[in-house]
Amino acid sequence: MSGAHFTLDARLKADTRPVAALSLCDLLLMNDARYPWLILVPRQAGCVEILDLPDEARTALWQEIQQVAAALRDVSCCDKLNIGALGNSVRQLHVHVIARMEGDAAWPGPVWGHGRAEPYANGDAQSLMHALRQRLGVAA
Amino acid sequence: MSGAHFTLDARLKADTRPVAALSLCDLLLMNDARYPWLILVPRQAGCVEILDLPDEARTALWQEIQQVAAALRDVSCCDKLNIGALGNSVRQLHVHVIARMEGDAAWPGPVWGHGRAEPYANGDAQSLMHALRQRLGVAA
């Protein structure tokens, strides 16, 4: 798919806010106040599986997953990180990095498909995004 | 936790069959015929998050995830791979690599927490494990 132009999937775009553009991935925050929930989307057209990425991009994806997971853990003080690449509904390759708290809305089950998203209160998403950008050392 | 002795978590042991010992991880097959479902467990005592692993082991884990995912895709001819590190219930670090088929028992939702495991019919688990070992070039 080289040469094809990357465009963020419409559903991912509708469900998230942009946090930052990392070297490989767009970093997004899910519009769901129940959990601090980030999504990494490699800006590579036509990729569905991690295995579809070229070698270098797979290495870069792993680095960015770890950077984002460490930042999210620090900022959220979560009890557990959940990291996953599913893509059963939205096929564009994306990786979830979610901060879980014991007793949160879906605990101890997975967040995917559990109930309805709850909107962030005024300013809360911005505060979280600001803290994440500072921790990652990146601009908006 | 260096120096501590690695022991496979009792629940992981009860729910799976051993497929192979890879360089870093024990590779296990879930006792659930609904989905070809593999679990990688790094033989490192005391790790809960991927971030807890030393740098070299994190790189090795990523390599083994990719090797196992490629083998499982080839052997299962699945529609989608699901890869995830959750660990909300079993805290010992482990990574799921699951072959999903459109219309399978949990489709398009996640497999975790969905219904009850179904036993493999006689010989089916052995056939799958044999095919995986051949594709991975490893012994039992």
Helix (H) or strand (E) holding A98: strand A95-100
Q: Say if B4 falls within a structural domain.
A: no
Q: What is the reported pLDDT for A87?
A: 98
Helix (H) or strand (E) holding A131: helix A124-136
Closest to A90 (Cα-Cα) out of A19, A10, A6: A10
Q: Is A107 in Cβ contact with B81 (below 8 Å)?
A: no
- Using CB atoms, which residue from B51, B62, B110 is nearest to A69? B51
Domains in chain B, number: 1
Q: Say if B86 falls within a structural domain.
A: yes
Between the alpha carbon of residue B128 and those of residues A20, A41, B59, B116, the distances in Å are: 42, 32, 27, 20
Contact B20, B111 (CB under 8 A): no
Could you tell me the pLDDT band of residue B1, with boundaries at 50, 70 and 90?
very low
Q: Say if B2 falls within a structural domain.
A: no
**A52–chain B Cβ distance below 8 A for any pair:** no
For B81-123, give the secondary structure using H, E and C. EEEEECCCCCCCCCEEEEEECCCCCCCCCCCCCCCCCCCCCCC
Predicted TM-score (pTM) of this structure: 0.97
Mean of pLDDT values over B66-86: 98
Q: Say if B38 falls within a structural domain.
A: yes
- Using CB atoms, which residue from A58, A107, A110 is nearest to B112? A110
Q: Does the pLDDT value for residue B2 go beyond 60?
A: no
Q: Say if A125 falls within a structural domain.
A: yes
Q: Say if B132 falls within a structural domain.
A: yes
Within 8 A by CB and 6+ apart from B22, the residues are B40, B64, B67, B68, B136, B138
Most B CBs within 10 A among A83, A91, A111, hence the mutation to make, goes to A83
Q: Which domain range does residue A59 map to?
A: 10-136
Which chain B residues are closer than 8 Å to A73 by Cβ?
Answer: 49, 51
Determine the Cα–Cα distance for residues A22 and A41; give it in Å rounded to an integer: 10
Q: Is A85 in Cβ contact with B84 (below 8 Å)?
A: yes
CB pairs under 8 A between A and B: 89
Q: How far is A17 from chain B (nearest CA, A)?
A: 23
Q: Say if B5 falls within a structural domain.
A: no
Tens place of pLDDT for every residue, chain A, 140 residues?
A: 445 899 999 999 999 999 999 999 999 999 999 999 999 999 999 999 999 999 999 999 999 999 999 999 999 999 999 999 999 999 999 999 999 999 999 999 999 999 999 999 989 999 999 999 999 999 98
* Spatial strand order in the sheet of A25-30: A16-21, A25-30, A37-42, A95-100, A80-85, B80-85, B95-100, B37-42, B25-30, B16-21
Q: Give the CATH number, domain containing residue A32.
A: 3.30.428.10
Q: What is the reported pLDDT for B3?
A: 54
Q: Say if A3 falls within a structural domain.
A: no
